[in-house]
Amino acid sequence: MVKKTITIVDVAEKAGVSKTTISRYLNGKYEFMSQESRERIAKVIEEMGYRPNNLARGLKSKRSRLIGVLVSDIGSPFSSILLKGIGDCCERYGYGVLITNSNDNPKKERDYILSMIDQRVEGLIINTTGQNDEFLQQVVKNGVPIVLADRPMEEHIFDTVRTADEAITMDVMRHLKERGFKKVGWFSQVVNNETRKLRSAAYREACHAIMSIDPQEYVLDDKDPKQVEDQIRSFIEANGKEKKAIYTGNGVATLHVVKALQRMKLRFPQDLGLCGFNNWDWTELVGGGITVVSQPSYRVGHECVKRIMARIHRNRHAKAKLIELECKLIIRSST
Amino acid sequence: MVKKTITIVDVAEKAGVSKTTISRYLNGKYEFMSQESRERIAKVIEEMGYRPNNLARGLKSKRSRLIGVLVSDIGSPFSSILLKGIGDCCERYGYGVLITNSNDNPKKERDYILSMIDQRVEGLIINTTGQNDEFLQQVVKNGVPIVLADRPMEEHIFDTVRTADEAITMDVMRHLKERGFKKVGWFSQVVNNETRKLRSAAYREACHAIMSIDPQEYVLDDKDPKQVEDQIRSFIEANGKEKKAIYTGNGVATLHVVKALQRMKLRFPQDLGLCGFNNWDWTELVGGGITVVSQPSYRVGHECVKRIMARIHRNRHAKAKLIELECKLIIRSST
DNA sequence: ATGAAAGCGCTAACAA
DNA sequence: TTGTTAGCGCTTTCAT
């Protein structure tokens, strides 16, 4: 037994005003009604338990009050915290959040973006695969603003919120140098997005600038534990008796390296220093704690929303802005 | 320069049919048009890059093609995997996912549910705080089906998908007994939801049924590391020289216990056995690996969607169904 | 097999 | 300060 839905007309009738006035009330345009009407409407809405239909509102006004979010891997802690930041901030603006997960698949990225546009999201926050440059430009051209979260594009044509990975990498190297490490190897997965490219470049830059050593980069295959061990062995063999440290490109890389190290019965920092990106919960627990770069993921989400709201409500045609948030180095016993 | 939006009318014109036919095409009612029309329409839509407006579709048809999800803590790995399962499954049905995060706050739970209903979600998947029993019933009465994910309600009046925590707890106890543990303490946070209540009851039951010992329950305060240490000390002191194990109620509890154990320089399994709910990534890494109960969170998400779709499209008034999914015991060196 | 026409519940010109 | 009216882009009867 589904009750007939209460519409703006029912409210208008009961309050003894026209539906226009109710609409004005709903949109906070109180200057167009008497104090008395305003109070009466409030009372009637409360009594009837009326809730406006956002589909109807959006259809007419072109404002769905929805933001679309596309993450590349909803399972990662980074995404969780990012989403939390986005959700909390959207709430303050009265916006809902439509969330999709591309699994780092460019085709899915396009499909999901289109289907979010079908829902008339007013803006998109995207943790992009980096393979849909032109497509995204087209989306913006069609009037849906985009903010890139965490992963920039090579060409800087979209609003972007990211973390200052370069600066913190300098700090990491400085720290490693202080602790007496002579060789530092970069361990990360294949470079298939801009973030990885920039982090690896930052590592190389820091090798020269801080430690005056040659960069040594090792590509990890997440799916192949043996391969990870092999890479670690290569690194060790290539550097003889020097004091060595591994610097990983992200939390997943850290995870695989730690697993490999455990299988190889190698301890850190005794046998090898270890540090990396992403301050995940467990990095504190493993082997007395791993030194990590902590990213302000929550704030990234926050800033994304603020930026998209500014674009929607203030200057739709402002030029692309880059927002960089500082990271923190958390030193633990692994280095 | 925003292009004028292409509507069903534009498509109809170009295809030389009425908009009714286009609508039929969009809804897959191909039996009402010639093969020829169908092909022509497909071509025109493709050419024009037409995308239907889901707000308009939903307004008229009362089918928003949106499912609302409310999780109690979007930051937890459980939620991530659950959301992944939900998202992947919804995609197959052509549904989008509106996601909100109650932070275990009953007021937020109500507010977010209302605002998702404002968006006319066709169904809700809720990881409930357990404090909004009547409110949720009202929602269902108003025609929005609800599936409870993971956390049941005391009264079984909603569709529920959960894991068979009772059965696996028996397995855990059996395992502990085999390994020679004589005393098992239950460590978890204050019982403020049904899941915690059921798990703790399962623990008590298993104490009697399997090990014939008295249950010993310790309440953890996540915010107070010292308190966690105190609880562990109490447990140890209460059981003298007997071989003891800690059984934790969830991943967060495990995390805090491990941290405390490390601070107290207590090793597992040498000083104390350790096992618990939730197979999080790092449980494999810490101290040689922690024995855990692995829950099929992804499948929980999956089943939630299947259930809600069945309700929406088949039998809206079927009686509440309980779906229980099996857990797996992953034995590692901590027990 | 196809179309005309009447809304879905709201917003926003325009009028008063 | 308030109301009248014409849509927003689609679906759905009811005709034909």
Reported as a pLDDT band with limits 50, 70 and 90, residue A279 is very high
Average pLDDT over residues A214-229: 96
**CA separation for the pair A301, A150 (Å, rounded):** 9
Residue A334 in contact with partner chain B when CB distance is under 8 A: no
Q: Quick one: which of B334, B193, B207 has its CA closest to B273?
A: B334
Can you give the pLDDT at residue A1? 42
Q: Bridge partners of A70?
A: A100, A126
Residue type for B327, please? C
Whether residue B97 and residue A96 make contact (CB cut-off 8 A), yes or no, is no
Provide the 8-state DSSP code for A212. -
Does the CB of A120 fall within 7 Å of any strand C atom? no
Query: Residue written as tokens 């007419």?
Result: A60
Reported as a pLDDT band with limits 50, 70 and 90, residue B1 is very low
Residue A6 in contact with partner chain B when CB distance is under 8 A: no
Reported as a pLDDT band with limits 50, 70 and 90, residue A3 is low
Reported as a pLDDT band with limits 50, 70 and 90, residue B3 is low
Query: What stretches of chain A adopt beta strand conformation (E)?
Result: 66-71, 96-101, 123-126, 146-149, 159-163, 183-189, 216-220, 244-248, 273-277, 291-294, 322-325, 328-330
Residues whose CB falls within 8 Å of the CB of residue A244, separated by 6 or more in sequence, listed in order = A181, A182, A183, A184, A185, A235, A236, A272, A273
Residues whose CB falls within 8 Å of the CB of residue A234, separated by 6 or more in sequence, listed in order = A218
C-alpha of B253 from chain center: 18
**CA separation for the pair B273, A14 (Å, rounded):** 67
**CA separation for the pair B176, B181 (Å, rounded):** 5
C-alpha of B180 from chain center: 34
Q: Quick one: which of B179, B163, B234, B247 has its CA closest to B207?
A: B247
A186 with A216: CB under 8 angstroms?
yes
Average pLDDT over residues B268-289: 93
Average pLDDT, chain A: 95
- A326 has pLDDT over 60: yes
Whether residue B262 and residue A285 make contact (CB cut-off 8 A), yes or no, is yes
For β-strands A291-294 and A328-330, DSSP reports them as: antiparallel
A323 with A287: CB under 8 angstroms?
no
Q: Stated in angstroms, how far is A291 CA from C15 C1'? A: 70
Residue B267 in contact with partner chain A when CB distance is under 8 A: no
pLDDT, tens digit, 9 for 90 and up, residues A42-57: 999 999 999 999 999 9
Q: Pick the residue from chain A with its C-alpha nearest to B116.
A: A96
Q: Around Cβ B41, how many Cβ atoms within 10 Å? A: 24
Decide: helix, strand or coil at residue A205: helix
Average pLDDT over residues B248-263: 95
**CA separation for the pair A279, A285 (Å, rounded):** 11
Does the CB of B192 fall within 7 Å of any strand C atom? no
**CA separation for the pair B289, B285 (Å, rounded):** 5
- A241 has pLDDT over 80: yes
3-state helix, strand and coil shares in percent for chain A, rounded to the nearest 5 = 50, 15, 35
Whether residue B79 and residue A77 make contact (CB cut-off 8 A), yes or no, is no
H/E stretch holding A218: strand A216-220
Residue type for A313, please? H
Cα angle value B193/B194/B199 (rounded, 5°):
110
**CA separation for the pair A199, A188 (Å, rounded):** 10
Report chain C positions within 7 A of protein CB atoms: 1-5, 7-13
Provide the 8-state DSSP code for B179. T
Of A81, A284, A285, nearest to B75 by CB-CB distance is A81
Q: Stated in angstroms, how far is A136 CA from D14 C1'? A: 44
Question: What token pair was written down for B209?
Answer: 């049924």
Can you give the pLDDT at residue A5? 86
Question: What token pair was written down for A76?
Answer: 């990662």
Q: Which of residues 110-169 of B touch A (CB under 8 A)?
A: 114-120, 141-143
- B113 has pLDDT over 70: yes
Q: Quick one: which of A266, A315, A258 has its CA closest to A283?
A: A258
Residue type for B235, please? F
Torsion from C-alpha of A38, A43, A44, A50, nearest 10 degrees: 100
B278 with B81: CB under 8 angstroms?
no
Whether residue A77 and residue B77 make contact (CB cut-off 8 A), yes or no, is yes
pLDDT, tens digit, 9 for 90 and up, residues A99-149: 999 999 999 999 999 999 999 999 999 999 989 999 999 999 989 999 999
Whether residue A83 and residue B77 make contact (CB cut-off 8 A), yes or no, is no
**φ, ψ dihedrals at A317, nearest 5°:** -115, 20
Q: Quick one: which of B184, B6, B27, B162 has its CA closest to B94?
A: B27
Range in A1-5, A121-125, A266-270, B35-39 the model is least confident about = A1-5
**CA separation for the pair A171, A165 (Å, rounded):** 10
Average pLDDT over residues A78-94: 96
Does the CB of B57 fall within 7 Å of any strand C atom? no
Whether residue B51 and residue A117 make contact (CB cut-off 8 A), yes or no, is yes
Residues lining strand D at under 7 Å (Cβ) are A 16-21, 24, 31-34, 36-37, 56, 59-60; B 5, 7-9, 19-20, 22-24, 26-27, 52-53, 56-57, 59-61
**CA separation for the pair B132, A266 (Å, rounded):** 52
Query: Residue written as tokens 């999201």?
Result: A121
pLDDT, tens digit, 9 for 90 and up, residues A59-70: 999 999 999 999
**CA separation for the pair A100, A144 (Å, rounded):** 17
Does the CB of A48 fall within 7 Å of any strand C atom? no
Q: Quick one: which of B303, B318, B316, B235 has its CA closest to B272?
A: B235
B306 with B89: CB under 8 angstroms?
yes
The whole-angstrom distance between A110's CA and the closest CA on chain B is 13
The whole-angstrom distance between B82's CA and the closest CA on chain A is 9
**CA separation for the pair A254, A274 (Å, rounded):** 9
Residues whose CB falls within 8 Å of the CB of residue A17, separated by 6 or more in sequence, listed in order = A33, A37, A40, A41
3-state helix, strand and coil shares in percent for chain B, rounded to the nearest 5 = 50, 15, 35
Buried b (16+ CB within 10 A) or exposed e, B149-179: bbbbbeeeebbbbbbebbebbebbbebbbee
Average pLDDT over residues B140-147: 93
**CA separation for the pair A77, A85 (Å, rounded):** 12
What is the radius of gyration, based on Cα positions, of chain B? 26
- From residue A65, alpha-carbon distances to A62, A88, B96, B116 in Å are 9, 15, 15, 11
Residue A59 in contact with partner chain B when CB distance is under 8 A: yes
Question: What token pair was written down for A77?
Answer: 């802690």
